[in-house]
């Protein structure tokens, strides 16, 4: 056998090994699709995916709308503006023209019927958590023009796990701060009220009422107290947080319009496992993958004409070597 034929034989054997690995991966995919959770998602949840999608989209729109109303109210009725980070006082919130925040008012009223408010706040955190995981799994994370390895069962690199933990920790902080902006009254005092010294009707607790020196039963939440002290001590921090919320709303609006006007390829319809192997460099980039996912139930291997010719040539070389 000549040197050229030997090199060609080694190349064909490597391609045959790659095809075998792909077949094993297809078998793993079929086994994973036969698990209880996969069957539950495919037969029970998948037919109602449009309903779940519309409900989650409306919920995200309500959260974004509540954030917009809260920021617009602070921007329009705050007296101290930049000097205090656009904080509202009691006179501003008592005006008739003040904007009504439906989500904040709903949470305050639900707090009187425990645990109804906890369920709504839990849905808010769950929505943000699922969005974080979806973005990390489908879009991945790029650091300095380098894409991190994907998260996979039993084969996740340590670097990806560290980055995921880092994002989850900051997710909790960002979600808590966002709750202070979306529902400031609920996140600070909730449905607490107190009776003034003049004997008038009970009034809702507020930051100005607790800072006036009058004896009250109002107790601010720990997270709101820490954030308020930081805002008073460092107005630049409060201003940065205020305008960063406006930047978030702008990015949210652009991304929402982009998703509504375009139809990107869905991750669950693509050869996800094939892309993962290509990212690992386990086979040649120029190889023609002959795989297709059909009906979401079974995966079929189909070789192209070039692959068939390659297999025939490999069999011929094996006979010659024998």
| Predicted confidence (pLDDT) per residue in 27-68, tens digit | 776 666 666 666 677 677 777 778 888 888 898 899 899 889
- pLDDT, one tens digit per residue, over 302-320 is 444 445 555 555 556 555 5
- For 314, other C-beta atoms within 10 Å of its C-beta total 17
218 by DSSP, 3-state: which? coil
Short-list 169, 177, 171, 174, CA closest to 231: 177
CA 241 to chain centre: 20
pTM above 0.85, yes or no: no
Q: How confident is the model at residue 79 (pLDDT cuts 50, 70, 90)?
A: confident
- For 209, other C-beta atoms within 10 Å of its C-beta total 19
**194 beta partners:** 203
pLDDT (0 to 100) of residue 247: 93
Tokens of 199: 């004997």
What does the angle CA 139 – CA 143 – CA 144 come to, to the nearest 5 degrees? 130
- pLDDT, one tens digit per residue, over 233-280 is 888 888 888 899 899 999 999 988 988 888 665 544 444 545 555 445
**Strands (DSSP E) along the chain, which ranges?**
142-143, 146-147, 193-194, 203-204, 291-294, 298-301
- pLDDT, one tens digit per residue, over 178-189 is 888 888 888 888
Tokens of 286: 């120029």
**299 beta partners:** 293
């Amino acid at each position: 056998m000549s040197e050229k034929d030997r090199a060609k034989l080694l190349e064909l054997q490597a391609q045959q090994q790659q095809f075998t690995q792909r077949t094993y991966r297809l078998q793993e995919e079929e086994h994973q699709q036969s698990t209880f959770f996969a069957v539950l998602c495919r037969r029970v949840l998948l037919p109602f995916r449009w309903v779940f999608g519309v409900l989650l989209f409306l919920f995200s729109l309500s959260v974004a709308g509540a954030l917009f109303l809260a920021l617009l109210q602070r921007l329009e009725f705050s007296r101290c503006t930049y000097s205090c980070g656009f904080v509202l006082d009691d006179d501003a919130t008592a005006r008739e023209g003040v904007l009504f925040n439906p989500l904040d008012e709903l949470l305050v009223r639900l707090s009187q019927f425990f645990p109804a408010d906890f369920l709504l706040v839990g849905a808010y955190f769950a929505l943000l958590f699922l969005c974080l995981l979806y973005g990390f799994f489908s879009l991945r994370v790029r650091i300095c023009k380098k894409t991190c390895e994907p998260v996979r069962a039993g084969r996740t690199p340590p670097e990806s796990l560290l980055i995921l933990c880092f994002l989850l920790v900051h997710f909790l902080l960002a979600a808590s701060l966002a709750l202070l902006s979306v529902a400031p009254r609920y996140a600070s005092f909730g449905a607490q009220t107190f009776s003034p010294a003049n004997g008038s009707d009970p009034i809702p607790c507020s930051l100005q009422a607790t800072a006036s020196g009058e004896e009250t039963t109002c107790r601010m939440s720990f997270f709101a107290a820490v954030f308020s002290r930081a805002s008073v001590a460092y107005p630049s921090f409060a201003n940065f947080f205020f305008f960063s919320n406006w930047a978030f709303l702008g990015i949210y609006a652009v991304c929402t319009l982009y998703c509504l006007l375009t139809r990107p390829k869905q991750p669950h319809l693509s050869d996800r496992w094939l892309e993962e192997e290509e990212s690992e460099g386990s086979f040649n980039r120029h190889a023609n993958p002959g795989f297709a996912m059909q009906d979401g139930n079974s995966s079929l291997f189909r070789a192209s004409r070039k692959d068939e010719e390659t297999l025939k040539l490999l069999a011929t070389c094996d006979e010659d070597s024998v």
